Homo-oligomer: A and B are copies of this chain.
Amino acid sequence: MSKGRLLIVSGPSGSGKDTILKKAFERLDGVKFSISTITRPMRPGEVEGEKYNFVSVECFEEMIKKGQLLEYNNYIGNYYGTPKAPVEKVIKEGGEIIVEVDVNGHRNIKNMIDSAVSIFIMPPSFEVLKQRLSGRGTDPDEVINKRMESALAEIACAKEYDYIVVNDNLEEAVDDFINIVKSDRLCIERQNYLVDEVLKKC
């Protein structure tokens, strides 16, 4: 049976990452999304187990101690983490699971699972990024500059990834993303069992 794959996806605000993932997900069979475990209160409209698992701080800290998280961080007093078990299950079963994290999360996960394949979604240029982050032009310059700074700090880490998808034209970016997932299924690490199957008949 084919080995599965953990796919790590990152991209700054303004990269269109969420839209690409949503559209790619509709066209890719058998790909799962990792559900993050978080400690912040549930917001209106959110459903337990849909995008997040909501747990108490005590419960989260127990998960950390037991080594049940692939990566986690604490942002303004709330924990965010990626549980390890569902990822290991999908890899064992030969499927693919997508984990959406920032550049630090990417580093931490790569350290634990070095077979993970990572994709960085990028805006096509500095100018387009600025335009996208300016919103409707009603935000003060200071706010826009802070967003730009944060996005550029993430882009500065893009070379640590295996692939870069540039989101200039949305449909092309979705095709690119899907191509990466599909061609990864053909790599030797995931297909060497086929060689054995043909040869064992000799």
Contact = CB atoms under 8 A, between A and B. Distances in A.
A76 interface: no
A150 interface: no
A57 to B, nearest CB: 37
Query: What's the interface size class on A, roughly?
Result: 35 or more
A37 B152 CA distance: 49
A191 interface: yes
Contacts of A188: 158-159, 161-164
Interface string A149-163: 000100110110111
Interface stretch (A48-56, A134-142, A193-201): A193-201
Given A161-B188, A162-B188, A164-B188, A123 B183 contact: no
6 contacts: A152-B198, A155-B195, A159-B188, A159-B192, A162-B188, A166-B191
User: Would you list the 7 A-B pairs with minimal beta carbon distance, nearest first?
Assistant: A126-B201, A183-B183, A179-B183, A164-B191, A180-B183, A158-B195, A163-B186
Interface of A: 122-123, 125-127, 129, 152, 155-156, 158-159, 161-166, 176, 179-180, 182-184, 186-188, 191-192, 194-195, 197-199, 201-202
